[in-house]
Amino acid sequence: MKVLFVTSEANPFVKTGGLGDVMGALPQSLQNLGVDARVVLPKHKNIKADYVNKLEFVKWFMVPVGWRSQYCGIFKYEYKSVTYYFIDNEYYFNRDGLYGYDDDAERFAFFDRAVLCFLKEIDWKPDIINCNDWQTGMIPVLHKLEYSKDPFYAYIKTAFSIHNLLFKGIFSADILPNYFGYDYMPMANGSVELHGGASFMKGALNYSDVITTVSNSYAEEIKTPQYGEGLDGLLREKSFKLKGIVNGIDYEEFNPEEDNFIFKKYNYEDLNGKAQNKILLQKELGLPQKENTPMIGLVSRLTNQKGCDLIISIIDRLLQNDIQVVILGTGDYLYEETFKNLQYRYPDKISANIKFDNGLAHKIYAASDMFLMPSLFEPCGLGQLIALRYGSIPIVRETGGLKDTICPYNEYNKVGNGFGFKNYNANELMSITEYALDLYKNKEHWKGIVRQAMESNNSWEKSAQEYNKLYEELLASC
Ligand code: ADP
């Protein structure tokens, strides 16, 4: 079975969040099951220097984008036995940052058509194209409306994976003629129309053969108005082809026993190394070096999805305790400035690092005792899975993948790998955090929670099997 993953980012080449992590790990886990999985992504300017010089040029050809004809180069690179292809066009992708440009519709219209065209240019043809998030959403549309009429493409199946329904890729309806060479029929018949514009995401939901999302709870939640982003009705209608498969994490990349980013390696049988990581990170960040002061970590996009409002509304109260809070993230200006200001007000208690820094992220996972993820919604969430692996106990809101992966600790039977609260409410976050801080004082108790966290199995193995099964069913259905 041959599967092509189409994505806008993939670790270790370029990553802004969880999608990058998934695309760096899932294909390899599928390879281990005998699937020939490959990945294609744009050749962004931000691709790490270690890799960019090693990419092998394959060939070039031209791609139509509406009335334009644009250069498209193909590069490739083999990483951990998976072939990654890179779509090159400097006009579209030689830019700082990955998303958020005024011409994103044109950039990803080019990318989506280029992916379909490139299949005819290389010596390999997938049985299934698995698209990911809105940037790749027009591939199922192009496939069904145009390419499937060509026998070369006719038997290829399309899967679409939702990593975050919030980002729907909605643009003016004029993108249809301007960048795809279509008339307005997909607007008129409603198949891409959303809030008066044309949505890549909606097109994908309508035209793909199967839809996946990254946890079971999120698969249920997005069928409700509260989480459905205006697409809940469509998702209820499409529930026959919607499946939740929880993400895993790359157990080689995130491994406290082997991690070269952290100060001291450790495992759950010997947690002294973890304590040293805390002391050394405190030193690096200019916080007082205190082994017994609980450190709470936050590594996240700083947006309202991630619960920044809740954190900000309790932080003054929370800091009355003997704690340290280490923040790493970028995002909305308001949150960035508020966290910087908090560091100014509480220099001994808060370290606010407003940047994207993979090495520091690893250090925080290793050093912190608790990890905050009070998300408003969370399709899967990888932060809490990485935190578990490093024995940093997640404090989460029970939504989406957070609900599916964190078992709230029960002090009576001593079972659980984290702490959870139900409603998006600051008082609930405050009381669960204080409860965790209280339990932290009992060292033996806490060690037990840390062990259970580190023993939780969130590797890709099981989820890759579910993808494999889904693909087999998809191919059998033709
Ligand atoms: P998202 O919704 O952003 O995809 P996830 O929890 O699924 O959230 O994944 C976030 C990933 O990005 C994790 O690997 C996390 O460690 C990483 N990450 C987030 N912000 C930063 C940052 N500022 N620096 C380094 N890594 C970060």
User: Residue 167: its pLDDT value, please?
Assistant: 97
Run of H or E residues at 249: none
Out of 382, 388, 404, 460, give the residue to mutate to test ligand 1, the one with the largest number of ligand atoms within 8 Å of its CB: 382
Q: Which segments of 122-215 are extended strands (E)?
A: 128-132, 157-162, 170-171, 193-194, 197-199, 210-213
pLDDT of 49-80, one tens digit each?
Answer: 889 999 999 999 999 999 999 999 999 999 99
User: Residue 48: its pLDDT value, please?
Assistant: 87
Instruction: Give CA–CA dist 310/88, Å, rounded.
Output: 42
* For residue 3, pLDDT beyond 70: yes
* For residue 478, pLDDT beyond 70: no
Instruction: Give CA–CA dist 412/398, Å, rounded.
Output: 20
Out of 7, 246, 299, 375, give the residue to mutate to test ligand 1, the one with the largest number of ligand atoms within 8 Å of its CB: 299
**CA nearest to 209, candidates 154, 253, 288:** 154
Q: How far is the CA of 15 from the centre of ligand 1 (A)?
A: 9
Residues with CB under 6 A from ligand 1: 17-18, 21, 164, 299-301, 328-330, 356-358, 361, 380-383, 386
pLDDT of 202-246, one tens digit each?
Answer: 999 999 999 999 999 999 999 999 999 999 999 999 999 999 999
pLDDT of 141-155, one tens digit each?
Answer: 999 999 999 999 999
Return phi, psi of residue 190, to 5°. 85, 0
Q: How far is the CA of 147 from the centre of ligand 1 (A)?
A: 36
pTM for this prediction = 0.95
CB-side neighbour CA atoms (13 Å) of 411:
11
- Write down the domain spans for the chain: 2-248+461-476, 272-457
From the CA of 355, give the closest atom in ligand 1.
23
Q: How far is the CA of 231 from the centre of ligand 1 (A)?
A: 25
Q: How far is the CA of 353 from the centre of ligand 1 (A)?
A: 14
Q: Report, as an integer, the average pLDDT of 33-48.
A: 96
Q: Are 103 and 95 in contact (CB under 8 A)?
A: no
From the CA of 329, give the closest atom in ligand 1.
23
Instruction: Give CA–CA dist 55/51, Å, rounded.
Output: 7
Out of 300, 362, 377, give the residue to mutate to test ligand 1, the one with the largest number of ligand atoms within 8 Å of its CB: 300
Instruction: Give CA–CA dist 176/200, Å, rounded.
Output: 11
The radius of gyration of the chain from alpha carbons, rounded to an integer in Å, stands at 23
Q: How far is the CA of 26 from the centre of ligand 1 (A)?
A: 17
**CA nearest to 405, candidates 448, 397, 304:** 397
Run of H or E residues at 36: strand 36-42
Coil/strand/helix, residue 297: strand
From the CA of 382, give the closest atom in ligand 1.
6
Coil/strand/helix, residue 364: helix
Residue 387 neighbours by CB under 8 Å, 6+ apart: 297, 365, 368, 371, 373, 393, 394, 453
User: Residue 268: its pLDDT value, please?
Assistant: 87
pLDDT of 339-353, one tens digit each?
Answer: 999 999 999 999 999
* For residue 445, pLDDT beyond 90: no
Q: Are strands 68-79 and 295-299 parallel, antiparallel or unpaired?
A: unpaired
CA separation, residue 476 to residues 1, 94, 146, 154, 204 (Å): 12, 41, 23, 15, 21
Return phi, psi of residue 169, to 5°. 60, 60
Q: Which segments of 337-463 are extended strands (E)?
A: 350-353, 370-373, 393-397, 419-421
pLDDT band at 270, cuts 50/70/90? Answer: confident
Q: How far is the CA of 274 from the centre of ligand 1 (A)?
A: 21
Q: How far is the CA of 68 from the centre of ligand 1 (A)?
A: 36
Return the residue whose CA atom lies nearest to atom 24 of ligand 1: 356
Run of H or E residues at 277: helix 272-285
Q: How far is the CA of 297 from the centre of ligand 1 (A)?
A: 13
* For residue 371, pLDDT beyond 80: yes
Give the single-character DSSP code of 253.
T
- In this structure, which amino acid lies at residue 66? G
From the CA of 301, give the closest atom in ligand 1.
20
Instruction: Give CA–CA dist 368/388, Å, rounded.
Output: 11
Return the residue whose CA atom lies nearest to atom 4 of ligand 1: 18
Out of 301, 364, 386, 397, give the residue to mutate to test ligand 1, the one with the largest number of ligand atoms within 8 Å of its CB: 301
State the chain's mean pLDDT as an integer.
97
Q: How far is the CA of 300 from the centre of ligand 1 (A)?
A: 5
| Fold match, 2-248+461-476 / 272-457 | yes
pLDDT band at 477, cuts 50/70/90? Answer: confident
Q: Say whether domain 272-457 belongs to CATH 3.30.365.10.
A: no
- CA angle 100/105/107 to nearest 5° reads 80
pLDDT of 453-470, one tens digit each?
Answer: 999 999 999 999 999 999
Q: Is 15 annotated as a binding residue?
A: yes
Q: Are 203 and 180 in contact (CB under 8 A)?
A: no
* For residue 111, pLDDT beyond 70: yes
pLDDT of 414-431, one tens digit each?
Answer: 999 999 999 999 999 999
Instruction: Give CA–CA dist 429/421, Å, rounded.
Output: 7
Question: CB count, 10 Å around CB of 320?
Answer: 8
Length of the chain: 478
Task: For domain 2-248+461-476, give its CATH number from 3.40.50.2000, 3.40.640.10, 3.40.190.290, 3.90.1280.10.
Answer: 3.40.50.2000
